[in-house]
Chains A and B, each alone.
Chain A
Amino acid sequence: MTRPALALLLAAAAAAQVKLPPYSKQVLPNGATIAVLPKNDVPLVSFLAVFRGGQEGDPADRAGLGAAMAGLLERGAGTLSGDAFADKLDSMGATLRTAMDEQSAVVRMECLARDAGPALDLFADAILRPRFDPDEVKKALAEQIDAAKSLKDNPSQANAAYFAPFFFGPRHPYGRPANGDELTLARIGREDIVAHHRRMFAARNLILVAAGATPAGFESEIERRFAAMPAGQAHSWVAASLPPRDAARLLLIDKPGATQTYFTIAQPGIHRTHPDRVPLWIVNTVFGERFTSMLNDELRVNSGLTYGARSELQQERLPGAITIRTFTKTETTVKAIDLAVGILKRLRSKGLDAAQLASSKAYIKGGYPTQRLETADQVAAAIAELELFGLNRGEVDDLFSRIDAVTLEEANAAIRRHFRDDNLQFCLTGDAAKIRDQVAKYAGRRKEIKIAEPGLTLPEF
């Protein structure tokens, strides 16, 4: 085995901190937060609107309402019908995307720099003056219902979609499917959508970032369009907790004919601003976030059981999950699950060594600039994240020193505090007839459903 030159290792370890570029920020009298970041490497401008609330804002019996509302923003706004809006957006070569996550609704637009003004008009129309024309509402909801059904054709996506309702349970906001399912969407009407827009898309909930080749004085252009937006009520963050996961549970989603089993093994994790976030990031990088991770090395490289295995440290406003995800051919389902659980046990019993700690730190710092700060839309997302979670720019600017400061003892203490190898929560999608009996050993509490059954949620068990 060859070792790289020491000089190279030292050079990488000394990677200079990258910082957020300077940007302007103001809070309008109505409560909207506006930031502008000039970045002139390509002639594009990115707009990002983040509204506090997200899945938390969906009524318990109408999961997918926020996603439905956001999806309708570009189907007619201001004086423009849905068709006219699309014509205008596309004729500029601009794109508009909406998304929902656990704590926010997101609207993104990207346009050529020469169209920054007219594109901002469209962006403001979509956010402030969506028409929710009855025909468009009907069509959009029908599409969303069909998309929820079709998702089950892909076992990998289906496993991910069933996981959150299974893990968080029906009473937790994260336990509701973000895009809804055919049952929850069927309860939604136009009046729900209009009311939801009025309630959630209030200025007090808005963080708006424009980044890229912005024209001079763009702050006032944005202010002019958003100053009259109603202040509304700030979203009151929900206090929800995960049901005690003090017994192993297993959900088996039966997809007859599947030749692979897709599985998620989960346990309770942390929230975005938890003090152990950085040590756990370092730990999880070694455990399952990169190619040479313990999970991928064992399940892919050493055994050839899968194309890839990884672990994820969910980081939302409320505590989330730590998940292991992979897939393997039906015949090796138990072998792969046993290996994954064995690696988890090894992490707990042995922890990290000094070489793994150093490698993980270098890996995170080496990738961070291109993953988070290279493009205008990445920087816009970083700024919005600070605002959303109430963080300051030190979160980015001092990140490397906080990574460097984590000792081996601290990393291993974080493992002992957060990683456990009992009471695990198993969510499997595969051919139940072929694996049902073998996987029974993983949990006393088990439930099996057919993938063709409508909906994604199920009662707590």
Chain B
Amino acid sequence: MRLLALAAVACTLHAQRIAVSQHMLSNGMKLLIHQDRDVPNVAFYLFFKVGSRNERPGITGLSHFFEHMMFNGAKKFGPKQFDIVMEKNGGSNNAYTSRDITAYTDWFPKAATELMFDMEADRIRDLAIDPKMVESERGVVYSERRTSVDNNNEGLLREQLDAAAFAAHPYGFPVIGWPSDIESWTMDDLKAHFRMGYAPNNCVAVVAGDVTEAEILRLAKKYLEPVPRQSPPPPVRTKEPPQLGERRVTLSKPAQSPYLMVSYHVPESRHADRAPLRILDAILSAGRSSRLYRRLVDRDQLALDIGVDLEDAIDPGQFVINIQVRPGVDPAAAEKALYEELAKAAAGVSAEELGKARNQQVAALYRGMKTIAGKANLLGRAEVYYGDWRKISSFADDLDKVTQADVKRVAAAYFKPANRTVAALIPSKEAE
């Protein structure tokens, strides 16, 4: 088994230097190492390129369920041991699942570094899928669903929005899964999904913190490299066909505030239009001076808050505008004002707005780099979504290249009625 060192490079991001060494283990796992000795701690992030995008009817939510099962025991470290051992060594962890990825996030004092490599390798190679733990964890995930969807108007509406926006592509599935699927995953489904998603060659590992490159390479060779290569998830063949007309979902339930979500299909993260779309996002929604905040919240007082969700996406994704409509206001009025503002954006933006949006985006990137955890997350996501961690340093340059004409063009191209899906929550009349 051979450890292949590809490169050790330092990148400059508008005078912000981030030194990363990049390695490819012989089993296909990509490893990024960034030293930062500001605090005596380490962030160890593992990104598996598996998410609800790789699911199908019957197994929706399985990637997210695995995010939970990965803490329920493997061969060397049995049930509960991952957390018990980690916490008594001063560490803590979390994990998240999205449409595209499942990420495991470990934070610990540097003395626990070898232990964490041992525990991570154990569960990636030899996860034990204990039927008893599966049943108990099913209840946990159902409770999570009840809290984030069933008893959360925003979560509920977003689920309906996505299901309507995607007719063919799996981005229409909720990451947490449809209730009937949560209730009926089988052991065979679980085993097959683990083999598919948790191949080392389907993973990017990032270590940031008080470490040396030599030490991490030694640990990676000892613990991670012996995990055998497997077949990664098959390509997702389905492409969402162009939307041919507006789609609309209306929910009615007891509530104080109406809620409105409007989604437009936009290209994937690697597409050249993403940089102007990020600028457009900031012009529309970042800060009190943004166009939508000023119009809908401040001037017309139609909304309590507005926001744009332009999520990273491996396949073509969405530009979603969220409007928390004020109690007693007709959501149709907020919707009308929104379309007027989107039409104005398609007519052009000013040079000042462009400069402001760049500054906001660059400052937000720096905020993400304040912690070792933030840097591990940024590096891993850049590698997964853009195929290259150096993207975090060219990010600012990409934004600098965006012109007013680019922003105008993407606004006109994507904010078309036929390309949109609207979901509205209307408070029902019966008193609570």
Task: Identify the A interface with B (CB < 8 A).
Answer: 1-2, 4-5, 8-9, 11-12, 14-16, 18, 41-44, 74, 82-83, 86-87, 89-95, 110-112, 139, 142-143, 146-147, 149-150, 152-156, 254-260, 290-292, 297, 300-307, 327-329, 355, 358-359, 362-363, 365-367, 369-370, 373-377, 450-452
Majority DSSP secondary structure for residues of A touching B: mixed
B389 in contact (CB, < 8 A): no
**Chain B proximity of A310: nearest CB distance (Å):** 13
Determine how close the nearest CB of chain B comes to the CB of A174; give it in whole angstroms: 25
Supposing A41-B370, A292-B80, A363-B87 touch, asked if A90 and B290 sit within 8 A by C-beta, the answer is yes
Q: Is the CB of B139 within 8 A of A256?
A: no
Inter-subunit contact A146/B326 (CB<8 Å): yes
Additional A-B contact list (15), CB under 8 Å, known A12-B90, A362-B87: A8-B114, A11-B111, A12-B88, A90-B360, A91-B359, A111-B363, A139-B298, A154-B151, A154-B152, A260-B143, A292-B84, A304-B140, A367-B90, A367-B92, A369-B40
Which residues of A sit under 8 angstroms from B186, Cβ to Cβ? none
A and B contact pairs by CB, cutoff 8 A, 22 listed: A4-B115, A5-B115, A9-B89, A15-B109, A18-B39, A18-B40, A44-B370, A87-B356, A89-B288, A90-B360, A92-B359, A93-B358, A156-B151, A257-B254, A292-B80, A292-B87, A304-B138, A307-B144, A366-B91, A366-B108, A369-B109, A373-B39
Residues of B within 8 A of A152 (CB): 256
Complex: A292 Cα to B87 Cα, angstroms: 8
Chain B nearest CB: distance from A249 CB in Å? Answer: 23
Distance of A14 Cα from B40 Cα, bound (Å): 12
Query: Distance in Å from the Cβ of A338 to the closest Cβ of chain B?
Result: 17
Determine how close the nearest CB of chain A comes to the CB of B353; give it in whole angstroms: 9
Closest to A260 in B: B146
Residues of A within 8 A of B83 (CB): 291-292
Evaluate contact between A307 and B366: CB separation under 8 angstroms: no
Interface size of B by CB at 8 A reads 83
Q: Which of B39, B77, B85, B358 contacts A370 (CB 8 A)?
A: B39
Does B16 touch A at the CB level, under 8 Å?
Answer: yes
A366's closest neighbor in chain B, by CB? B90
Contacts of A306 in B (CB 8 A): 140, 143
B287 contact set on A, CB distance < 8 A:
86, 89-90, 95
Question: Are the CB atoms of B16 and A91 closer together than 8 Å?
Answer: no
Which B residues lie at the A interface, using CB under 8 A? 15-16, 36, 38-41, 76-78, 80-81, 83-85, 87-93, 107-109, 111-112, 114-115, 118, 135-144, 146-147, 150-153, 253-257, 286-290, 294, 297-298, 301, 304, 324, 326-327, 352, 355-356, 358-364, 366-367, 369-373, 431-432
How far is B38's CA from A42's CA once the two chains are assembled, in angstroms?
Answer: 12
Contact A112–B362 (Cβ < 8 Å):
yes
Q: How far is the CB of B55 from chain A (nearest CB, A)?
A: 21
Q: Of residues B92, B143, B367, B369, which shows the largest number of chain A Cβ atoms within 10 Å of its Cβ? A: B143
- In the complex, which of the residues B78, B93, B432 has the most CB atoms of chain A within 10 Å of its own CB atom? B432
* Chain A residues, CB < 8 A from B85: 4
CB closest chain-B residue, reference A42 = B366
Report, nearest first, the 5 A-B pairs whose CB atoms are least far apart.
A366-B90, A304-B139, A93-B359, A93-B363, A359-B88
- Closest chain A residue to B425 by CB distance? A153
Please pick, from B152, B363, B432, the residue contacting A255 in the complex, using a CB distance under 8 A: B432
The reply to whether B91 and A154 contact each other, CB–CB distance below 8 Å, is no
A90 in contact with B324 given A155-B151, A376-B370 (CB within 8 Å): no
B89 in contact with A4 (CB, 8 Å)? yes
Q: Are B89 and A362 in contact (CB under 8 A)?
A: yes
A45 to chain B, nearest CB (A): 11
Taking a contact as CB atoms closer than 8 A, the residue among A43, A149, A154 that contacts B153 in the complex is: A154
Q: Which residue of A lies closest to B139 (CB)?
A: A304
Residue of A nearest to B143 (CB): A307
Minimum CB–CB distance from B128 to chain A (whole Å) comes to 13
Q: How distant is B369 from chain A, measured CB to nearest CB, in Å? A: 5
> Do B151 and A149 touch (CB < 8 A)?
no
Residue from A90, A94, A147, A297 in contact with B304 in the complex, judged by beta carbons closer than 8 Å: A147
If A139-B298, A304-B139, A327-B147 touch, whether A370 touches B107 (CB-CB below 8 Å) is: yes
Q: Report the nearest B residue to A336, measured CB to CB.
A: B143
Nearest residue (CB) in B for A152 is: B256
Partner among B81, B151, B372, B432 whose Cβ is within 8 Å of the Cβ of A260: B151
Q: Which residues of A contact B40 (CB under 8 A)?
A: 15-16, 18, 369
> Is the CB–CB distance between B289 and A301 below 8 Å?
no
Asked whether, in the complex, the Cβ of B370 is within 8 Å of the Cβ of A374, the reply is yes
Quick one: which of A41, A153, A302 contacts B255, CB cutoff 8 A?
A153
Whether the Cβ atoms of A139 and B301 lie closer than 8 Å is: yes
| B77 shortest CB reach to chain A, Å | 6
Residues of B within 8 A of A142 (CB): 301
Expressed in whole angstroms, the minimum distance between the Cβ of A427 and any Cβ of chain B is 17
Given the known interface contacts A44-B366, A90-B286, A450-B432, the answer about A2 and B81 at a Cβ–Cβ threshold of 8 Å is: yes
